[in-house]
Amino acid sequence: LLAAGAVGFTDDGIPLMDGAFVRAAMEEAARLDTVLSFHEEDKHFIRENGINHGRISDELGIYGSPALAEDSLVARDCMIALDTGATVDIQHISSGHSVEVVRLAKRLGAKVWAEVTPHHFTLTEEAVLKHGTLAKMNPPLRTEKDRQMLIKDGTIDMIATDHAPHSREEKERPLTQAPSGILGLETALALGITNLVKAGHLTLLELMEKMSLNPARLYKLDCGRMEPGAPVLFDADRQWTVEGFESKSANSPFLGETLTGKVMYTVCGGKVVYGEQGTEV
């Protein structure tokens, strides 16, 4: 697969429970100098996925998914990465304790990278009461304390969307039966500018680093830099209201929200494939 052009490997959606297997995979990844990306949720601690175990789940009369499910696998895989020397990406972190584990692993010398989604640094478990299944995702939205720990000190290297379109029929099922996941691509930049840059947590260049440069560095891709010919042009100060999507799906809790930062053009192969209505191309 590497010879055919694969840039990394992941268990996303089906977390690996066999620690010995994970260690063997990391040893091979280290030998081949490739990246392993892990979705960290131990199913043994989860009763209903997609909703944080806590005050809101108690109010809804369900158990949900505790942060322990994430924290335990993050700790395991960070220590295996330290032992094997493998380069590892901890995907879509939602728990503040997991941030602390990643920070420790980095300090010990592990080649661990970590990513967060825009919805996890923007929303908390409270969103489930307002948006229902549109705020259901794996791992789930957690507490305000967790949200603050995701953004407070720069431990997180990357911002990734975890884009997961679903049909209206799927998301209209009862909370415990609907699939997890939300749209992420079309609001990612604006949520970063609105909630991280405008709030003073990151500079605009630091946001670009986490959204573009660092993912490209991790996966050895020749892209991700701000330079002439860049594939996306945006207005960092443009305010807009999320009224719809280019996607065929609309499963997003951000519909109706007013955000700052608007993609104006998308360029592919030197051709403009998207241009904001009313602007010159």
Active site residues: 162
- Which of 152, 128, 158, 129 is closest to 140 using CA atoms? 128
Residue type, 274: Y
Nearest to 249 by CA among 169, 132, 135: 169
DSSP string spanning 127-196? HHHHHGGGG--SSPP--HHHHHHHHSSS---EE--------HHHHTS-TTTSPP----HHHHHHHHIIII
β pairing state of 158-159 and 111-116: parallel
Contact 39, 10 (CB under 8 A): yes
> Is the bond into 15 cis (omega within 30 degrees of 0)?
no
The token duo for 170 is 């799927």
